[in-house]
Amino acid sequence: MFKVDHSQANEFVVVEPGEYEVTVINYELKKAESGNNRVVVDYEIRSDVDQAFQGQKLLYDNFTVTEKSMWRFQAASKAAQFPDGMQFNSYKEWADAFVNKSLRVIVGEREYNGKKYPEVKGFKVSKVNPPDTSITISDDDVPF
């Protein structure tokens, strides 16, 4: 199995406020306590960019579907470089298009039950190219 080695246990460090290059890694469609629809987005701080907190996750960024909060959808869409005028037929369709996009987020803090947590406060266009996710496979790589 495995042997416990305390030297291998890394301390969890909370992401500090600042700007980070991220990739959208996941989303979930939920209902807010208010009954409004919500898209809950998770990001990963890119490891291919020289920055603090590489590989850490920024979780539970809530996009609540109301007229007053549409600015967040618009700001995130602009940062993800969706073309102006692009049409989505549902918030799920928007979220599907948002996954795997690279962008820059502005992280602040929120307090919950006396503890401080990172919270995405704003969105910007990425300053670096998206990660190269292409895979090259040659005939020599396959067994048939």
pLDDT in tens, 46-64: 999 999 999 999 999 999 9
Task: Give me the pLDDT at residue 7, please.
Answer: 75
Average pLDDT over every residue of 125-140: 78
Tally Cβ neighbours within 10 Å of residue 46. Answer: 21
The tens digit of pLDDT for each residue in 76-103 reads 999 999 999 999 999 999 999 999 999 9
Q: Cα–Cα distance between 98 and 39 in angstroms, integer? A: 11
Q: Cα–Cα distance between 97 and 110 in angstroms, integer? A: 27
**pLDDT-based confidence at residue 119 (cuts at 50, 70, 90):** very high
Phi-psi region of 52 (alpha: psi -120 to 50; beta: other; left: phi over 0): beta
3-state secondary structure of 32: coil
| End-to-end Cα separation, the chain, in angstroms | 35
Task: Give me the pLDDT at residue 144, please.
Answer: 61
Q: Cα–Cα distance between 18 and 36 in angstroms, integer? A: 30
Torsional sign, CA 130, 105, 27, 98: negative
